[in-house]
Amino acid sequence: MKKEYLDKIAEYGQLIVVSGPSGVGNKTVLREYLQDHERACVSVSVTTRRQRKHEIDGKDYWFVSVPEFERMVRMGEMLEYTYVNGNAYGTTKKSVEEARARGKNVILDVDTIGAMKIRALCPDATLIYILPPSWDELKSRLSSTGIYTEEEVNALMEIAEEEISCANSYDYILVNDTISNTLSRFAQIIHSNRYSRNCMKEFLDSYIDGEVKPHVQSYKEALL
């Protein structure tokens, strides 16, 4: 195969959408994965939520005012956005497209509503849902953070129940029993997914136009 087609396979990054209930460990899994995979990057979400002490603007989130967020929505700048507990969260189209064009595998950590919006706009996206090993373990993880009140934990558990019911709409399901196991499975999915039909569509179109059609046309002309 010509080098130009081999290069075509690798030149455009994947879009990986990851979801899971609060407390399942999505951020830990993604942080560990990014440390060993330079080609991958996490898209930084835009939010109107108040910045916490340990968070860095532009790294954990882009923190914006409510009017600025609403302007971005009106201008069609958002790939997806949603509202959780009175706060707005979203991902810009520009940030994702620019990263993929640079060959980066862009990973989005969003809720199920955002994931379905992305699937509608980006059919080549791969959706992965991460489950906790048990319901009790999820509640224990949320309580042990020290961030949430008991009332907030119960509210998050109700949201988790609704979200998990949507997991059947995802391409892959992972159970985060241990970080090492989940990391291994996550990496396998992204590696093998590089050659899936959706990710290979652009390459296949180029291959057919550049290789197959010219030869078929030459063959037909030779028969005349």
Q: Please write the tens of the pLDDT for every residue from 48-107.
A: 999 998 999 988 899 999 999 999 999 999 999 988 889 999 999 998 998 998 889 999
Per-residue pLDDT tens over the stretch 92-145:
999 899 899 888 999 999 889 889 999 999 988 999 999 999 999 999 999 998
Structural domain boundaries enclosing 171:
3-223
Amino acid at 195: Y
The span from the CA of 170 to the CA of 156, in Å, is 21
Structure tokens at 45: 């979400």
CATH number at residue 57: 3.40.50.300
Number of domains into which the chain is organized: 1
pLDDT of residue 208: 83
Mean pLDDT of the chain: 88
pTM of the model: 0.78
Three-state SS at 63: strand
Which among 47, 79, 70 is positioned nearest to 60, based on CA atoms? 47
User: Is residue 10 scored above 70 in pLDDT?
Assistant: no
Three-state SS at 42: strand
